[in-house]
Structure 1
Amino acid sequence: MTHTSLVNQHELQEFLHQNPQWLVQDGKLHREYQFASFVQAFGFMTQVAQLAEAMNHHPDWSNSYNRVKVDLITHTTGGITRLDVELARKMEVLAGSDSL
């Protein structure tokens, strides 16, 4: 199985159980982060952008002041893959204690 294989239901449910802030919305992994300030939110996005570029896997996201909305899906497969779950896990580490 490759990183771009669709994630199976068991793997997806395990990830969602371990990371309850994430949910499946419109067939995508979705999460909304909130930070103490715009600078912290933008700093998080900068770190994720560098990581995403290195992974060659880019989130669909938006920022409004101290909030970052994220959707993850692998467009080439039309669904949530192991790559999406891997990026989501790494985003959780990067957000760490900065996220409210």
Structure 2
Amino acid sequence: MSDRITAQDFEAAPGTADWHVADAAERVFETGSFDVGARLVARIAELADAANHHPDVDLRYGTVTVRLTSHDVGGLSRRDAALAREIAAAARELGVDAKAV
């Protein structure tokens, strides 16, 4: 059974309200510094390894951009929604805000 979901399913999932969805789910986090961004990326790496589901992550001074998609189903999956929720929680723990995409 595939865990593929629609963009609407992703957007309706708990904890995904601030993610922008097109062909993938994307969110930009305003970290305010490279150090905080690196700490967020490290936390994302831990969560991704634990889930065996790895997003694309772009670390820049002041921002971290995360892009989620599931190549094995050719789009979004329940795994993406679950990881999005965990990443958002980790960002909140670090005091990081989402930037409008």
TM-score (norm: length of structure 2)? 0.83
The yes-or-no answer on 1:14 pairing with 2:21 is no
- Residue 24 (structure 1) aligns with: 21
Alignment map for 1:1-100 (pairs within 5 Å): 5-8=3-6, 10-15=8-13, 19-25=16-22, 27-96=23-92, 98-100=95-97
Aligned-residue sequence identity (percent) comes to 29
Deviations along 1:15-68, one digit per CA (max 9) or x if unpaired, are 38x54421113x100111111211111101101101101111000121111211
The whole-number CA distance in structure 1 between the counterparts of 2:34 and 2:7 is 35
Residue 11 (structure 1) shift: 2.6
Query: Which blocks of at least 5 consecutive residues in structure 2 are unaligned?
Result: none
* Runs of 4+ off more than 3 Å: none
Aligned-residue offset at 1:96 = 0.3
* Uncovered stretches (5+) of structure 1, i.e. residues with no partner: none
Structure 2 distance, partners of 1:62, 1:10, is: 25
Contact 2:29 2:96 (C-alpha < 8 Å) held by counterparts: yes
Aligned-pair Cα RMSD in Å: 1.9
